[in-house]
Structure 1
Amino acid sequence: MENGAVYGPTTEENPGPARGARSGLAAYFSLGRLRLHRRLFKVLQLLLSLLAFVCEEVVSQCTLCGGLYFFEFVSCSAFLLSLLILIVYCTPVYDRVDAVKVKSSDFYITLGTGCVFLLASIIFVSTHDRTPAETAATVFGFLASFMFLFDFASMVWEKQQESQMRKPEATRRTEATEPLNA
């Protein structure tokens, strides 16, 4: 028997570049793992922290630079962390790691980033020279920190909803009148 006769019916000659609804880079990117409101929070966190960082970078001089430097570090870190979390949720990386650990990490990263970003925005507001770039940076900083905190609140709410769904209904205990091993 020839090799062509054995392998012919099960293989394709040339499958072509696009074989389905999604091909190329789009095949590796999926937003379906996050609910719509969580996706919106994640994208807003990413954009607002980037805008806060860019506006802060435009500042050319400062009188009290400690607040500016702290805000710079926090806004850049917030942008990178939110980008990392979004990449993990939207790529096949999510399938390769433990989903519980991803959600737990997202929970704590979102809480920590929101609190530190809020603190950095407050410090920057109290130390800035009131230039338009600094004002814009603080506005975006506050908005970004609120997005992180709103996202955290939505995660807490979702956890409460899941725990209420898992709770068994109150069952009545019946006492055994005879011992089980008698």
Structure 2
Amino acid sequence: NMPGGATQVGNPTGAHQSSTPALGIDDWDNPDAPVFAEIAPMPAGLETWVSLYLAITKNPERGSFVYDKATDRAMLRWTREQNAPAVAAAKSLFDRINKANTTMYRYDLFGPQLKNFADDFCYHPLGGCVLGKATDDYGRVAGYHNLYVTDGALIPGSIGVNPFVTITALAERNIERVIAEDVRTAA
């Protein structure tokens, strides 16, 4: 899970900010609340006095999809309460950061509820069509000719860091094999 949190800082962050993570805070080995947090400056175009943290946690909770025959749809089974372990882990880290830097939480960024964590999104969704289970080892969907998965759905859960590079590496590796074995042999 990846809850977001924001703290107010005492020094300007600058109006011209990047939109990619600028720093990582590794507290992954913390036995009570493992977290890896990315500081992603808010690209607002004006001074915000804010650092936005995206926290990757080891949430033991997992969602699942269940087929609803009446509606002929797959429904996600996930409750808001399942976010609690992720938010608690992130809060533990951010509380320590705020204390050490004499900063404080912002309560005005995530809607009218005046909360300091946004736990209603998933920044890098993973899983759903896991490599080696729903697909072969190269993303070919079992039982479907010429149907491939090449995104984060192949990864079963959190890998502890931003999964962008892992997803890219898997996609490149898989497509090379698919081109070599499926496309070239069909031609």
TM-score normalised by length of structure 1:
0.30
Select the structure with the greater relative contact order (CA < 8 A; seq sep ≥ 6). 1
More helix as a share of residues: 1
Structure with a larger share of its residues in strand: 2
Q: Please, what TM-score do these two structures have when normalized by structure 2? A: 0.29
